Amino acid sequence: MNTIRRFAYAAALTVSALTFAPTLASAQDAHGTFKLAHEVHWQNNLVPAGEYAFTLESKSRSELLLLRKIGGTSAGFMMLIHDAEPATPSEISKLLLVSRPGGSFVSAMELPDVGITLHFAVPPEPREMAKADTAAAAPSAR
């Protein structure tokens, strides 16, 4: 099963690299840079701390976010975005992080210059289990 998954992943990366190479040179909707002070979970990626350049490309029904690490060890990430909404023009560009037991997760990327806010999958907050009161739950014999 892992072999099939690895093959599918490698095939998808190869096809996407061939598909997006001409697009990168032609029409880019938004681009910029940001710095992460610590590693974060972003969609299905673990993105290490560092400075990054990003490119946001609009596709037919979704956006494609490409991240590329600047300097140091090279790293790149590609994320298909299905959840986006218009941004208020007066806002500043920012990444919104939420803390979970597994670390920090990117929940949104606000890009008011482009007029869009991107939303990312984040695990739900853990629920605390209520401890049952054993004295109250035990049946009484009469």
- Residue 94: inside a domain: yes
Please calculate the CA angle 45-51-57 and round it to the nearest 5 degrees: 60
Let me know the angle formed at the C-alpha of 58 by 52 and 64, rounded to the nearest 5 degrees: 45
Coil vs helix vs strand at 14:
helix
Say which amino acid occupies 52: Y
Other CB atoms within a 10 A radius of the CB of residue 54 amount to 18
Give the number of domains in the chain: 1
Residue 4 has pLDDT above 90, yes or no: no
Residue 102 lies in a domain: yes
Give the rounded distance of the alpha carbon of 47 from its chain centre: 9
* Inside any domain, residue 18: no
The distance of Cα 51 from the centroid of its chain, to the nearest Å, equals: 16
91, part of any domain: yes
The CA distance from 14 to 8, in Å, is 10
Q: Please give the residue range of the domain that contains residue 39.
A: 30-125
Domain for residue 79, yes or no?
Answer: yes
Would you say residue 48 lies in a domain?
Answer: yes
Give, rounded to a whole angstrom, the gap between the first and last alpha carbons of the chain.
Answer: 58
**Residue 81: per-residue pLDDT:** 87
Tens-place pLDDT, residues 18-63: 333 333 333 447 899 999 999 999 998 999 999 999 999 887 677 8
Is residue 85 one of the residues assigned to a domain?
Answer: yes
Asked whether the predicted pLDDT for residue 134 surpasses 90, the reply is: no
Q: Is residue 135 part of a domain?
A: no
